[in-house]
Amino acid sequence: MRLYSRIFIGVVLALLISGCAAAQPANEANPATGTADTSATHTGNHGDMVMDGQTSFDAMFIDSMIEHHQGAIDMAEMVLEQAEREELRTLAEAIIAAQSAEIEEMHTWREAWFPELAATGGLPMDMGDMEIRDDESVPFDQRFIEAMISHHEGAIHMAEMALEQAEREEIRTLAAAIIAAQEAEIEQMQNWLDEWFGDDTRGNVAPSPYASQLVTPVRGLTVEEVDDLMQGRGMGFARMAELNNYPGPRHLLDLQDELSLTPDQVTQIELVFQAMQTDAQALGRDIVLQEQALSDAFVAGTIDSAALTTQVRLLGEDYGQLRNIHLQAHLEVTPVLTAEQIAHYNDLRGYADHAQDEHHH
């Protein structure tokens, strides 16, 4: 098997196989309800981590991935004792060898780069299945494969975040290796699942379009939505202005040459953009944590009507404030522009054929 042979390459290179999630500590207070979570779940998350923008992403990534790897090792050790098929035992041995080496390497990085930093709590992510479900009506081999596929998908999402946000090249190199290895292993495990257990694993029911969100950083939001919130992007919140002759600062800066913006115009627009992005990123991070808390409460089964009403109301207020931040930025930069520049902006953005008469300022 061509893909199966990649597993052994991963053992030699160490970086090419990475693991996945571990359990959330039992009896941890649920952030949405304030009550202790004593229910057993099949996912790991760090929804209670306070992401204040000051903690190094690299430190949070290392803390999360060490826990992630240990979860994979724990499941792999169960495979050595219980799996029926030799292929799975070989895969488990490869996972244990590779990820033990990576844990040691990440501990070395942690001590060298962040010797004084306390445990961060990791990234605010749902990292996929963290254990093999205890359902003896389903063959153990099938349960392991299904859990490890989810596990790997969680690792890939975390690695994709690292490619964009990591500060150190070593982290980005590890993230790229994780993505390459995990995607190949998911394909191999899916082939095994289809070959050994056939159509019974999926049935004839079409999967929900939301299924992919089970292993996103926040269960219930897409990867793109979480990333947009964390990065302070517009997410369409300012369309009411954008489509009515009030250009956006980010696009104006991207098109400054085409619009022949003067140095003074660029400076004024940059100041508005920087203020908008700072405010939007801070609020976006808070929204992500609130969404994670709400998701955690549903996962744990501790949500109630009163807590839900409060949490949704607070989220609604924050989303409204976020929209206002983006709309205000459009409002602030428009007086800086000439009528000709606004018209040319609309043309470049594809709005000219449908734009209303320009406003006066």
- Provide the token pair at 189: 């495990």
Report the C-alpha gap between 110 and 116 in whole angstroms: 10
- Provide the token pair at 354: 């449908």
Return the CATH number of the domain spanning residue range 2-213.
1.20.1260.10
Helix (H, G, I), strand (E, B) or coil at 45: strand
pLDDT at 314: 94
pLDDT at 185: 84
Report the C-alpha gap between 91 and 10 in whole angstroms: 10
Instruction: Give ∠ CA 294-299-302 in degrees, rounded to 5.
Output: 75
Cα–Cα distance list, 187 to 48, 87, 142 (Å): 33, 14, 15
Instruction: Answer yes or no: is pLDDT of 18 > 80.
Output: no
Entry pTM: 0.49
Quick check: 126 and 43 in contact, CB under 8 A? yes
Report the C-alpha gap between 187 and 198 in whole angstroms: 15
Per-residue pLDDT tens digits for 130-183 = 899 999 899 999 999 999 999 888 888 888 889 989 999 999 999 888 888 888
Cα–Cα distance list, 323 to 216, 220, 239, 247, 327 (Å): 24, 21, 10, 15, 6
- Provide the token pair at 69: 């790897």
| Domains in the chain: boundaries | 2-213, 227-348
pLDDT at 313: 93
pLDDT class for 324, splitting at 50, 70, 90?
very high
pLDDT class for 110, splitting at 50, 70, 90?
very high
Which residue is associated with the tokens 């300022």? 361
Per-residue pLDDT tens digits for 54-84 = 689 999 999 999 998 899 999 999 999 999 9
